[in-house]
Amino acid sequence: DTGVSQNPRHKITKRGQNVTFRCDPISEHNRLYWYRQTLGQGPEFLTYFQNEAQLEKSRLLSDRFSAERPKGSFSTLEIQRTEQGDSAMYLCASSFVVRPHGGDTQYFGPGTRLTVL
Amino acid sequence: AQSVTQLDSQVPVFEEAPVELRCNYSSSVSVYLFWYVQYPNQGLQLLLKYLSGSTLVKGINGFEAEFNKSQTSFHLRKPSVHISDTAEYFCAVSELYGNTPLVFGKGTRLSVIA
């Protein structure tokens, strides 16, 4: 068990560029979550997957944000046409859920820090 | 919808002193409650969680929290802190039996002073 990994750890980009982040969950975890954390705030939920199915995406911040988990293993979060307001830490978490009950323990990765110039 | 209020943004405390980090929540339904810790340059780590049963929950690193339904609180305590406890602490809530995501508070920065 190597924990949740995220790549890259840091990303600096220019406004208007597209960026993609990758998250590798703990193996055999069937749920994968994406959060955004800005300075002085707690993590803010963006979206989550149960295996390859994206069960909630209404919290994605705009239509510039999209996420995939094509084979139910790793996931990618893409931000198109980045804006300075997108600068934040993007966190990924995974968990194993036998039945939906909301009390699953989420294991977080170290995050990807995005800076948009 | 749920919300979480962490009443103190920063808590300085001397080493070996007790500490309490306060958390209040708001929800129209029953909830699960969590405390996570975030060390510098690391991901969040679960300290403890309340799902049901005893309202006093013990977690890792000597931390415990007490669920108080009437006061809608879930305060985190440790009787004697160490320098290594310096970190950001987040309280979070999710809906009982629901597929709702975790809702986090803004965090409390615990600084342990030697």
Residue pLDDT, tens place only, B14-60: 999 999 999 999 988 888 999 999 998 888 999 999 988 889 999 99
B49 in A contact zone (CB under 8 Å): yes
Tokens 């803010």 belong to residue:
A44
Mean pLDDT (chain A, rounded): 92
Asked if the model's pLDDT at residue A45 lies above 90, the reply is: yes
pLDDT of residue B98: 65
B94 in A contact zone (CB under 8 Å): yes
Task: List CB contacts of A27: < 8 A, sequence separation 6 or more.
Answer: A1
**Do B89 and B35 form a contact (C-beta atoms < 8 A)?**
yes
Three-class secondary structure of residue B83 per DSSP: helix
List phi, psi (to 5°) of A73.
Answer: -115, -95
Alpha helices, DSSP H, located in chain B = none
Residue of A4, A41, A110 lying closest to B106 (CB–CB): A41
pLDDT of residue A1: 55
Distance from CA of A43 to the nearest CA of B (A): 6
Q: Provide the terminal-to-terminal Cα distance of chain B, rounded to the nearest Å.
A: 41
